[in-house]
Amino acid sequence: MNSKVKYDVIVIGELNVDLILNQIGQFPEIGKEIIANSMNLTLGSSSAIFASNLSTLGTSVAFIGKIGQDGFASVVLNSLNSKGVDTSNIIQSETLNTGATIVLNYDQDRAMVTYPGAMEDLRLEDIDFDFLTSCRHLHFSSIFLQPSIRKSLPFMFSKAKLLGLTTSLDPQWDPAEKWDVNLSELLPTLDIFMPNKAEFLLLTATNSLEEGIAKIKNIAPNLILIIKDGVNGAYAWKAGQLIHQPAFLNENVVDCIGAGDSFNAGLINAFIKGDSIEKCLESGAITGAVSTTRAGGTGAFKSLDDVRILSVEVFNVIF
Ligand SMILES: Nc1ncnc2c1ncn2[C@@H]1O[C@H](COP(=O)(O)OP(=O)(O)O)[C@@H](O)[C@H]1O
Ligand SMILES: [Mg+2]
């Protein structure tokens, strides 16, 4: 192992806050004002939820991302710091604002508006590869929200691998729905690729898991492919074998915000420990399920003890 190792995982990705408005009497109309009876300002973004929950599980985590110097920036930094994530490599732009998502919850539905802000400006030059040499694993999330670094990802992952890190990527949804990614270039630079099923089918332009896997197996024969499929659980494809992990079904879902990111946290936490692929999948399924028992992406991850208690009490499984 590298003698400089300080962090198990370096997360590179998007950062924003979520301003969540609940209990609104009716959906907003142009030109009118309505009242929300509850409001919550929390850490948003897939990458930050992943980093925060991974740290709670006991893995040491550092973060590289871009925010502004505004009040929302303090919310992001305080939230990550309070979960033990190292934020010293987060860049605070003097000119750009921190990204924010305004969420309007109305009954079972919601409307969201996102201002990407500084997250769109993260670029290859912002990454301190010397710092990466003090980490064991690199995880990146949300390629379509970060246009300034997107085309540099194969270079970034290749360089990280040369420095001795293992690599993982969760592509997340493409808001433009173009799904324009050169998989032949990107996938060979990854150890683990972890989209959800809808994203995987759109990225591979196929209609089934089997077809999608057939398309990528020659491009990246050594890849571990993880496919999340909501209440149907998740799949792992490794060395020509497809394994299915059923979900630990939650009958009383509070919300599914961050279920995929929490799944990723459980899986990478196990991967870092050197667990088998079966164990990694099961860990992900537990933490994905645990995430649905509390509001928001980090609500169920207050401490490792809380995660363990929820696993046993709600799902009758030991984490
Ligand atoms: N209702 C649920 N009950 C239990 N586990 C769930 C539930 N919804 C999601 N999960 C777990 O979380 C994982 C990720 O959820 P999914 O919705 O597939 O990802 P994403 O949030 O990326 O779309 C699933 O593979 C599953 O293990
Ligand atoms: Mg996801």
| Terminal C-alpha separation, the chain | 27
Contact yes or no for 142/169 (Cβ under 8 A): no
Kindly indicate the confidence band of residue 25, based on its pLDDT and cuts at 50, 70 and 90.
confident
Residue nearest to atom 19 of ligand 1 (CA): 260
Q: Could you give the CA distance from residue 168 to residue 206 in angstroms, rounded to a whole number?
A: 22
Is 226 inside any structural domain?
yes
Q: Which residue has the higher pLDDT, 9 or 296?
A: 9
Report the distance separating Cα 205 and Cα 195, nearest Å. 14
pLDDT of 279 reads 98
| Residue 143 backbone dihedrals phi, psi, to 5 degrees | -65, -35
In a domain, 21, yes or no: no
Burial class of residue 109 (count of CB atoms within 10 Å of its CB; 0-12, 13-18, 19+):
exposed
Pocket test of ligand 1: the residue of 194, 243, 244, 263 to mutate, having most ligand atoms within 8 Å of its CB, is 263
What is the distance between the alpha carbons of residues 13 and 139, in angstroms, rounded to a whole number?
8
Pure H helices in the chain: 46-56, 71-82, 129-132, 147-150, 153-162, 183-186, 197-204, 209-216, 259-272, 277-291, 304-315
CA-based Rg of the chain, rounded to a whole angstrom? 19
Pick from 126-130, 186-190, 292-296: least confident: 292-296
Identify whether 38 is part of a domain.
no
Strand 16-24 versus strand 66-67 pairing type: unpaired
Spell out which residues line ligand 1, taking CB within 6 angstroms: 196, 228-231, 233-234, 247-250, 253, 256, 259-260, 263, 285, 288-289, 292
Q: What's the 288 CA to ligand 1 centre distance in angstroms?
A: 6
The answer as to whether 269 is a domain residue is yes
Task: Return the ligand 1 atom nearest residue 198 CA.
Answer: 23
Q: Is 152 helix (H, G, I), strand (E, B) or coil?
A: coil
Asked if 262 contacts 53 with a C-beta cutoff of 8 angstroms, the reply is: yes
Q: Assign 296 a pLDDT band (cuts: 50, 70, 90).
A: confident
pLDDT in tens, 57-110: 999 999 999 999 999 999 999 999 999 999 999 999 999 999 999 989 887 778
Please state, in angstroms and rounded to a whole number, the distance separating the CA atoms of residues 53 and 303: 9
CATH (domain of 195): 3.40.1190.20
**Nearest to 51, CA basis, from 161, 142, 165:** 142
The pLDDT tens digits for 191-230 are 999 999 999 999 999 999 999 999 999 999 999 999 999 9
Residue 1 has pLDDT above 70, yes or no: no
Q: Which residues constitute the domain of residue 180?
A: 7-14+46-98+117-315
The total domain count for the chain is 1
Q: Is residue 216 in a domain?
A: yes
Domain annotation covers residue 299: yes
Whether residue 245 lies inside any domain: the answer is yes
> Is residue 232 classed as helix, strand or coil in its secondary structure?
helix
Dist. CA 299–CA 279, nearest whole Å:
24
Residue 269 buriedness (CB in 10 A; 0-12 / 13-18 / 19+): buried
181 assigned to some structural domain:
yes
Q: Which residues pair with 105 in a beta bridge?
A: 110
pTM given for the model: 0.95
